[in-house]
Amino acid sequence: MQGVWTAFGTKEASVFIDLLHRNGITPHIKEENAEWKAHLNLDTGSKIIKVCVDSFKMQGAQNIIEEYLNSEEGAVEISENLFDIFTDDELMYAILFNSLEGTTNSFYKELNKRGWTDASIEMKKEEIIKSLYIKERGSDFALFIGFMGVLAGGVVGIVMGVILFFAGKKHPITREGFSKYDKLTDKYAKLMIASGGLVLLGFIILYAKNN
């Protein structure tokens, strides 16, 4: 699976990419580092972009690209493997989740070229799946703890409010300066019951949205 790699400064790249899009070509784009710039003997202060066009998807527009590259405004043309733009892990994810264009077999072949055996690829895939499972379970557990905290807060608020309410009724405060039934205690009790109810309502809404 071969493609055409081209390196540009930012301004030239935008013109070239626009040209590709107008001719029905969707290129892969990747910003390159200082090492790439130095390799091309280009100004390391300018921003260089690497563009890859899959030769199998050019739809007869190869001549347009070559004409542009050979003009004064063109840049450097390098033939490279299309998959060079992707890391090993990205290719692994592509095998697992079909996240990239191409066949699973082509991804395996590319990884084989990079020194991976089929057995080591399978082991790496298992590691990725396990790590994703652990992350998912950890997220679920954190969500569960959050839900339980909200639920407990609501229940405790209501229970404490009820206890305070009836305790105030049954055993009124009789210290000097207070009435037999302290109205402030009554208000606090009702406030606790109301807040606990709101917390429980919030829990129910959150639970409903996540299930």
Q: What is the mean pLDDT of each run of 10 residues along the chain (211 residues)?
A: 52 64 65 52 52 51 54 45 68 70 72 86 81 59 65 69 62 50 61 70 68 61
**The domain containing residue 200 runs over which residues?**
138-209
Query: At 72, is the secondary structure helix, strand, or coil?
Result: coil
Give the per-residue pLDDT at 117.
87
Question: Does residue 21 form part of some domain?
Answer: yes
CA angle 98, 99, 101 (to 5 degrees): 85
Question: Does residue 34 form part of some domain?
Answer: yes
Of 18, 51, 85, the residue at which a domain comes to its end is: 85
Give the per-residue pLDDT at 139.
56
Give the per-residue pLDDT at 115.
87
- 142 shares a domain with 81: no
Question: Residues 151, 153, 159, 162: is their CA dihedral positive or negative?
Answer: negative
What dihedral angle (degrees, nearest 10) is formed by the CA atoms of 104, 105, 110, 114? Answer: 100
Give the per-residue pLDDT at 74.
45
For residues 17 and 67, what is the distance between their CA atoms, to the nearest angstrom?
14
Question: Does residue 129 form part of some domain?
Answer: no
Count up the domains in the chain and report the number.
Answer: 2
Q: What is the residue type of 191?
A: L
Give the per-residue pLDDT at 150.
66
Structure tokens at 49: 């972009």
Give the per-residue pLDDT at 89.
80
Residues in the chain: 211
Of 68, 85, 102, the residue at which a domain comes to its end is: 85
- 159 shares a domain with 79: no
Give the per-residue pLDDT at 1.
32
